[in-house]
Structure 1
Amino acid sequence: MIHELAEVYRRYLDEVAWITRSGAWGSYADLFDQDAIFHRSGFPDVRGREAIRAMILTEATTLPGSLIERTDILWHALDLRRRLVVQEMRHVARDPGDGSQHQALATSVLRLGADGLWSRLDVVHSPEAYCSMYRKWALAAHRSGRDDEAHRVRELLEVTHPVGLS
C-alpha cells in the first residue's frame, strides 16, 4: 500500500508540472491549507493560502522570477513519521538567446497537514547563487541582442542586491 505522504507528494509533483506548463500560477496555492506558512531564507514568512497565492502570482510573472522556465527535482526523501518531504530543486532559466543554460539550486521541506494539503513549505537557497544566475543570464541576453530584457534584469538586481554586482 502506498503511504499517504508518497501519494500526496506524487500529486503535488503532477500538479506543479501542470501549473508550470499552463502558467496557472495561482493554482499553486491550492496545494496548501488555509493557514499554511511559506518560509524562504532571507524573506519574511508568507502566511495563509491567499497570501501564498499573491506571492506566487507576483514572483512567477515578473522579473527576475519569470525567467525560470522549469524546476527539476534532483532528489527527495520522505519522513513518514514527521510527515515531511525534503527535496533538492534545480531552477533553470529560459534560454537567453544563445543556447546557454543558467541554473541555481534550492532545498525545500514540505510538511503535510490535513486533507492532503501542505501546511508548511521551507525553502533554503543561496541568494548569491540566484543573483549570479540572473546576472549571467542578463549578460548572455545582452550578447544575444536582447538588450531591453537584459537591462531590466540587471536593473532589478542592482536595486535588490547591490553588493558585489557589476
Structure 2
Amino acid sequence: MIMFSRDELAGAFERFEATVARAAETRDWDPWVEQYAPDVTYVEHAVGTMRGRDEVRPWIWRTMESFPGNHMTSFPSLWTVIDEPTGRIICELDNPMRDPGDGSVISATNISILTYAGDGLWRRQEDIYNPLRFVSAAMKWCRKAEELGTLTDEAADWMRQYGADARSTEGRRQR
C-alpha cells in the first residue's frame, strides 16, 4: 500500500472541497467527477455502487439537477479526519438547501469516506447517511416554501411522490 503524507492528503482534500464548492456555485458537475480516478468506486448506499467516472457522471448530474439536489447550495465539511495509514479522509458533509424565502436554513448531513489515489485523484468515495433524514429535510423545506408561496412545481411533484399532497397541506393545517 502506498503511503501518502498528511500534507498531501490535506492538500488534496482542500482542492476537493474547492472543486465541490465551485461545482455547487456553477452547477457544472463535470469538474467534481474529474477529480476521481478513471476507475473510481463510488458507494452510495441508497443507489448502489458505481464503478468508473462513466457511471458516476450521469448519476451526479441527475441527482444534483433534480429536486432536492438542485436546491442544495453547498457541501461544506463540518469536520474531517485524515487517516494517513489508509490514505483516507473521513468527513461529515453538510447539505444545506437554499433559503425557502424567510432565511431558514434546512439541511441534512452525511459521512463521506474518500480514499486517495495520488496525483490529486480519489479512487473511492463512500457516502453514509440515513436517507430518511434527507427526505425529512426536503419535506420540511417544501412545507416552508409552500407556506411562503415559493414552492416550485418540481418540488411540489416531489412532495406528492414522497407522501404529502403539496397543494392541499395548507388546507389541512387550517382545519
Q: Is the 8 A contact 2:63 2:69 kept in 1?
A: yes
Aligned to 2:116: 112
Aligned to 1:5: 9
Q: Is the 8 A contact 1:73 1:88 kept in 2?
A: yes
Q: Number of aligned residue pairs: give it.
A: 159
Aligned to 2:158: 153
Determine which of 62, 72, 95 is the counterpart of 1:91: 95
Give me the CA root mean square deviation: 1.8
Q: Which amino acid aligns with 1:119?
A: R
CA distance in 2, matches of 1:156, 1:80: 43
Aligned to 2:130: 126
Aligned to 1:46: 50
Superposition deviation, residue 149 in structure 1? 4.4
Which has more strand, going by share of residues? 1
**Within-5 A mapping of 1:11-26:** 11-26=15-30
Aligned to 1:78: 82
Aligned to 2:141: 137
CA distance in 2, matches of 1:11, 1:86: 15
1:77-97 deviation digits (Å, cap 9, x = unpaired): 101111000000111011112
Which runs of no fewer than 5 residues in structure 2 stay unpaired?
Answer: 165-175
CA distance in 2, matches of 1:46, 1:2: 28
Q: Is the 8 A contact 1:92 1:101 kept in 2?
A: yes
1:58 and 2:62 correspond: yes
Residue 133 of structure 1 aligns to a residue whose secondary structure is: helix
TM-score when normalising by structure 2: 0.84
Superposition deviation, residue 155 in structure 1? 2.5
Which runs of no fewer than 5 residues in structure 1 stay unpaired?
Answer: 160-166
Superposition deviation, residue 2 in structure 1? 6.2
1:29-73 deviation digits (Å, cap 9, x = unpaired): 100011101111222111111211111111111112111111121
Aligned to 2:170: none
Identity of aligned residues (%): 27
Report runs of 4+ in structure 1 exceeding 4 Å deviation.
none
Q: Which entry has the higher C-alpha Rg, 1 or 2?
A: 2
Superposition deviation, residue 150 in structure 1? 4.1
CA distance in 2, matches of 1:105, 1:114: 27
Q: Is the 8 A contact 1:26 1:54 kept in 2?
A: no
Q: Is the 8 A contact 1:35 1:47 kept in 2?
A: yes
CA distance in 2, matches of 1:49, 1:158: 33
CA distance in 2, matches of 1:69, 1:17: 9
